[in-house]
Chain A
Amino acid sequence: MKSNNRNGLTRLIYNPTARSLFFQAVVLGGLLWFMLTIIGNVMTNLETRGISTGFGFLSQPAGFGISQTLIEYDETFSFGRTFIVGLLNTLLVSALGIVAATILGVFVGISRISPNWLLRKISMVYIEILRNIPLLLQIFFWYFVVLQALPRPRDSITFGEAVFINVRGVFVPKPMAETGFTFYAVLIVAAIIGVFVLGRWAKRRMIDTGQQFPVFWTSVGILIGTVVIGYFITGRPISLEYPELRGLNFRGGISLLPELLALWFALTIYTSTYIGEIVRSGIQSVAHGQTEACRALGLNEKQRMNLVILPQAMRVMIPPMTSQYLNLTKNSSLATAIGYPDLVSVFAGTTLNQTGQAIEIITMTMLVYLTISLSVSAFMNWFNKRVALVER
């Protein structure tokens, strides 16, 4: 009886549930204490520095200009507007980068396993060199070395007096909507829907009867046909506004800032090395037996790629590919180093300097990236479950 009592405490120590509860309580308590200390410190520090907290600053006028705005903006707009402008610029460069890096990366990845020795070696060297150099350095290189070496506006490199390339950026004609544009747009949307319907019909027919329909080339034909013929039928609803040299710089047209170009090129090239390796390992991960089985079934080269190899390679490739896209989006924040007006540069940079609201601004900026990351990875988890190989 007595020994039992003495062992009561010992028993409690060795009881897994009690132990786990104790540890969790300690961690929770420590964390709470840590948070409270920090919040307390922040409050006193803000008070002594005379900084007011809150998001009131978002509606005050900003008073500074931004070099590239996708929506209407000037100095009189609010700090809240600078947040939107910066966010849109971040999304723009990320989207451009993702598209270009995918194209280049797939090309590099396929070159890596090409039967041509020279191409194989060159793409290997490309990957090994560019992957091992910090992205920031590559951005600087494009911005300060390559783009600064371009001619001045007066001596621009030009293509047919429509596209101009100089040290101030690239200037291309801007399409302007004329009368009849709505009809033209409706026509194009209808063509796109038609292509989707065609694809579904062809797939159902293939499953039912085994007959294949040349969906890809028919779709290309329909789309190009609609775009070209529709343009003339609706009475040329798009006109081009050409850039013109006025004074020291070009006016009109669409101008791509050198900052945007440098960031875009660097992000594209850096990410393409990673995508190239993903594509290569994805294709190589499909067992060789699959290729042999295709030959035995009498599928031709194209059918083998489209129907057997790629669908299996995709399953391996898509998760790491998505994380590269996320990395690219996060890496676009390096824009601040060369002054491209992205979210970090405009909002966590200029706006922060103007208002001094460090906590609110850094939190908002981080929340944006966090939202993007978490929603994409939630989507990826769902997608992975859907395409995961059902093993027996």
Chain B
Amino acid sequence: MEKFTPIESRPAPLVEVGIIGWMRRNLFSSIPNTLVTIFTAYMLWIVLVPFLNWAFISSDWFGESRHDCTSGGACWVFVTVRWNLFMYGFYPEDSYWRPNLAFILLIAIIAWLSIPNLPFKKWVGIAAITIYPVVAYTLLYGGFGLDVIPTHRWGGLMLTLVLALIGIVVAIPIGILLALGRRSEMPVIKMVCVIFIEFWRGVPLITILFMASVMLPLFFAGGTDADKLMRALIGIVMFQSAYMAEVVRGGLQALSKGQFEGADALGLSYWQKMNLVVLPQALKIMIPGIVNTLISLFKDTSLIVIIGLLDVLGMVRQALSDPAWLGYPAEGYLFAAFMFWIFCFSMSRYSIYLEDRLNTGHRN
């Protein structure tokens, strides 16, 4: 008897596999779907092609003045000739190394802390919150033999980063304290924290900045005119710490009561309980919220333009009013938008990565 050999299975029909099959499934699965695809592709075509042409293909990148913009597309010369202004504001040119050094140090610290499996994280972390602020302040502002550079000369991206960083570093501890206060069983402390949080969350940042610039000077004895940047910073920190408090509260609330009781039953002290049981779990839940707050803080720093401080957006606006460069608002605003976008987008990606890495599979 002949041994049975099955004939080889035929390959799947061409229209079901590969790129054609994919397109049939995802783009042309039904008549309405096909219409949507054609319409969307057409819209994309008429928007994207002229834009890419304007921004990249027929654009000018290098030159000295507006006369170097000859090809009819975007005039990126507007940005390139003012690159330093957009980055540092009116910071003296021979001192650019100071903010540069401060930011390189910061990036090194952040990299050290965020790359997994590097040693001495604890000590680096302690140095970052004790020694680094002093170093950075000295570098940026002056003292210890360095020239003092008053804050009204700070500007550009540097100012945005300084505001966002100080804002977040100060807002997190205040936020944690407020959140703990709101969960406290002492009525006075709870009430004070609730009022504080709800007040700052209930009003727009712009009114807080107005308040900081017109009302705050009246609060100090002798009507001292505190530094403008300082006043804006106080407003931003108050605003963000209220939001941070709600994020922390959400994280603490998400933990089941059994975790606290379990830690108590094991005889852990308050700080052991917090460090070994509560915070590792709560932090994981809080990370998306903290990063979202950080992103909105970063975007909110742009509002200081309204009270006359010059961050990236402010510098761009000032450059746009330069009579020698009238008529390039699109280039200027797109550049500023790109600057903000790149920071916010990378932060949101990092938060997603962190969430995945810390996800120990308790949910789902």
What is the interface of chain A, defined by CB distance below 8 A to chain B? 20, 23-24, 27-28, 31, 37-38, 41-42, 44-46, 48-49, 114-119, 122, 128-129, 131-138, 140-141, 144-145, 148, 330-331, 333-334, 336-337, 344, 348, 352, 358-359, 362, 365-366, 369-370, 373-374
Contacts and interface: CB of A to CB of B under 8 A. Distances in A.
B210 A344 contact: yes
B330 interface: yes
Given A116-B27, A122-B40, A348 B210 contact: yes
B306 A362 contact: no
A28 B188 CA distance: 7
B341 A132 contact: yes
Interface in B329-347: 329-330, 333-334, 336-337, 340-341, 344-345
Place the interface of chain B in its size category.
35 or more
Contacts of B189: 23-24, 27
Closest 6 CB pairs of A and B: A373-B202, A132-B344, A117-B26, A330-B204, A24-B188, A134-B299
Contacts of B302: 134, 136-137
Contacts of B358: none
Contacts of A370: 199, 202-203
Contacts, number: 149
Given A136-B302, A370-B203, 5 more contacts: A114-B36, A116-B27, A118-B44, A330-B204, A334-B303
A116 B37 contact: yes
B207 A366 contact: yes
A352 B214 contact: yes
B253 to A, nearest CB: 15
Interface string B115-144: 000000000000000000000000000000
Given A42-B218, A136-B305, A348-B210, A366 B203 contact: yes
A27 to B, nearest CB: 6
A49 B185 contact: no
Contacts of A348: 207, 210
Contacts of A136: 302-303, 305-306, 313
Given A24-B186, A370-B199, A370-B203, A359 B218 contact: yes
B220 A333 contact: no
Contacts of B188: 24, 27-28
Contact of A333 (B36, B206, B313): B206
B317 A140 contact: yes
Nearest to A335: B206
Contacts of B337: 133, 137-138, 141
A119 B40 contact: yes
B223 interface: yes
Contacts of B299: 132-135
A131 B207 CA distance: 23
B295 A132 contact: yes
B29 A331 contact: no
Nearest to A356: B214
B329 A145 contact: yes
Contacts of B110: none
A187 B100 CA distance: 71
A158 to B, nearest CB: 22
